[in-house]
Amino acid sequence: MAVCVAVIGKDNGPMYFRTRQSGVEELQYHFIVSSALDIIEERVQSSGKSGILPGGVSNPGALEITRELYLGALTAQEEYKVYGYMTNTKIKFVIVIEESSTPLRENDIRTMFRKLHGAFCDLMSNPFYSPGSEIRSKRFHDVVNSIVAGQ
Amino acid sequence: MVKQVRQISGVSCTVQLSKRILSDRIVAGTVRIHGPNFFWLKRRSQLDNARKMSRQTARIADPKKVNSELFTLTYGALVSQLVRDYESVDDVNKHLERIGYNIGIRLIEDFLARTNFPRCHDMRDAADKIQQAFKLYLGLSPGISNWSNGNEEFSLTFESTPFAEFVELPDSCSNLKYGNILPGVVRGACEMVQMEVQSWIIQDTLKGDNITELRIRFIKKLEDAIPAGED
């Protein structure tokens, strides 16, 4: 059950932040997402150092050739798990999942990120949206609602 | 110029080097001519490559067709730049209509050259032709409806307009008529065939309606029509 969805820009500034219910808990999720950013940077740097060539042959010391966008589980605590996804334009999506009785499969998480990425691309195509600014689009909001509520 | 060439290439070029090689040499800058024959061979192989490439690209994509997303994004960039340049939204609407008018007066020539339709007898004919023009240029099939009593006024209804995809109007521009270029195109095109019409947008999907509706009203037939010109 996704409790928090965040979109962070390429300069690590927040673009969009949404929690399942707003209130006192929101501050906690801000903290969780910010600490997840460090892990994302670490993950991306390490995958860049040992670049994976297409075909699966690893090439230590190579430049970043292809990097998978989905970064997987970043951190996990008793109550929640944090998943990350970074596009090639350095836009980061972070989803915080609450641990529940029915654990979500990795495929479901990938689907959520794919939907987010699609909604983000549509948002970018809006001529009245200036890239890097706060996201106020109703359409994007609806997609995030469906992600948060869908699971 | 010929003397320079001789010195650089070291090969004795004849004085009768054609003018074209010389001009190419000047344009190309650092291209070296080893002799007129070599240069011609090089040019010919370049032409062959270009021809091969164009054959390949013709298989991949018709060079005359443009990706619709590129068109949508271009139009969006145009409108958002106008909004930034002009203070008032009404000014933007007026300018969009004028841009459409300028497009329309030119587009009608292309339309008539492609389709070769005969003269329209009345507005019903005209409506039919306008509908076909939309099909030809935008790939849309608008419906014709809401004829007025005297058959002088009608509506074109669009399920969706291609350039309004992905667009969300911000609150500051709630009066913006995003697709206002279309009425301008219709007005400009009709003026060039001696019909004065008035056209405006009634419903707009961007403002929450289900369809986009464009209303066209016939005012009068023009005699000795000279286009108003760009003001």
**Dihedral over alpha carbons B8, B9, B13, B17 (to 10 degrees):** -70
Minimal C-alpha gap between B174 and chain A (Å): 12
Whether residue B32 is predicted with pLDDT greater than 50 in this model: the reply is: no
What is the tens place of the pLDDT at every residue in A7-63? 999 888 888 888 887 777 788 888 888 888 888 888 888 876 654 445 455 555 545
Whether residue A127 and residue B167 make contact (CB cut-off 8 A), yes or no, is yes
Whether residue B166 and residue A126 make contact (CB cut-off 8 A), yes or no, is yes
Whether residue B97 is predicted with pLDDT greater than 90 in this model: the reply is: yes
Whether residue B129 is predicted with pLDDT greater than 80 in this model: the reply is: yes
- Tell me which of B83 and A57 has the higher pLDDT: B83
Whether residue B168 and residue A128 make contact (CB cut-off 8 A), yes or no, is yes
Mean pLDDT estimate for chain B = 75
Q: Which of A128, A137, A139 sits opposite B80 (nearest CB)?
A: A128
Residue from A128, A133, A135 whose CB has the most chain B CBs within 10 Å, to mutate: A128
Q: Do B94 and B175 form a contact (C-beta atoms < 8 A)?
A: no
Whether residue A125 and residue B165 make contact (CB cut-off 8 A), yes or no, is yes
What is the percent of chain B with per-residue pLDDT over 90, rounded to a whole number?
19
Q: What is the pLDDT of residue B193?
A: 87
Q: What is the pLDDT of residue B63?
A: 64
> Taking CB atoms and an 8 Å cutoff, what residues of chain A touch B69?
125
A-B interface: how many C-beta pairs under 8 angstroms? 30
- Tell me which of B38 and A123 has the higher pLDDT: A123
Q: What is the pLDDT of residue B54?
A: 46
Whether residue A135 is predicted with pLDDT greater than 50 in this model: the reply is: yes
Q: What is the pLDDT of residue B170?
A: 86
Whether residue A128 and residue B167 make contact (CB cut-off 8 A), yes or no, is yes
Least CA distance to A127: which residue of chain B?
B76
d(CA A91, CA A117): 10
Least CA distance to A119: which residue of chain B?
B166
Q: What is the pLDDT of residue B119?
A: 82
Whether residue A127 and residue B77 make contact (CB cut-off 8 A), yes or no, is yes
What is the tens place of the pLDDT at every residue in B158-206? 888 888 888 888 888 888 888 899 999 999 999 988 889 999 999 888 8
Confidence of residue B53 (pLDDT cuts 50, 70, 90): very low
Q: Residue B2, by phi and psi: left (phi above 0), alpha (psi -120 to 50) or beta?
A: alpha
What is the tens place of the pLDDT at every residue in A105-125? 888 889 889 999 999 999 998
Distances (CA, A) of B142 to A88, B21, B33, B132, B134: 40, 54, 59, 9, 7
Q: Residue A34: which CATH number?
A: 3.30.450.70
Q: What is the pLDDT of residue B230?
A: 63
> Taking CB atoms and an 8 Å cutoff, what residues of chain B touch A128?
76, 80, 83, 167-170, 173
> Taking CB atoms and an 8 Å cutoff, what residues of chain B touch A142?
none
Number of domains in chain A: 1
d(CA B178, CA B169): 9
Q: What is the pLDDT of residue B8?
A: 44
For B168, counting Cβ atoms within 10 Å of its Cβ (0-12 exposed, 13-18 middle, 19+ buried), the class is middle
Which residues of A touch chain B, with CB atoms under 8 Å apart? 122-123, 125-129, 137-139
Q: What three-state secondary structure class fits B216?
A: strand
> Taking CB atoms and an 8 Å cutoff, what residues of chain A touch B73?
125, 127
d(CA B163, CA B166): 8
- Tell me which of B224 and B103 has the higher pLDDT: B103
Whether residue A128 and residue B169 make contact (CB cut-off 8 A), yes or no, is yes
Q: What is the pLDDT of residue A116?
A: 92
> Taking CB atoms and an 8 Å cutoff, what residues of chain A touch B77?
127
Whether residue A100 is predicted with pLDDT greater than 80 in this model: the reply is: no
Q: What is the pLDDT of residue A41?
A: 87
Q: Do B190 and B126 form a contact (C-beta atoms < 8 A)?
A: yes
- Tell me which of A104 and B103 has the higher pLDDT: B103
d(CA B199, CA B184): 7
Q: What is the pLDDT of residue B61?
A: 52
> B73 touching A, CB under 8 A?
yes
Minimal C-alpha gap between A123 and chain B (Å): 7
- The residues near A138 (Cβ < 8 Å, ≥ 6 apart) are B168
d(CA B118, CA B140): 23
Whether residue B76 and residue A126 make contact (CB cut-off 8 A), yes or no, is yes
What is the percent of chain B with per-residue pLDDT over 70, rounded to a whole number?
69
Q: Which among A88-97, B42-51, B56-65 has the top mean pLDDT?
A: A88-97
ipTM: 0.73
Look up the domain containing A93 and give its range.
Answer: 2-149
Residue from A120, A121, A126 whose CB has the most chain B CBs within 10 Å, to mutate: A126
d(CA A121, CA B46): 39
Q: Do B205 and B211 form a contact (C-beta atoms < 8 A)?
A: yes
Confidence of residue A2 (pLDDT cuts 50, 70, 90): confident
Whether residue A136 is predicted with pLDDT greater than 80 in this model: the reply is: yes
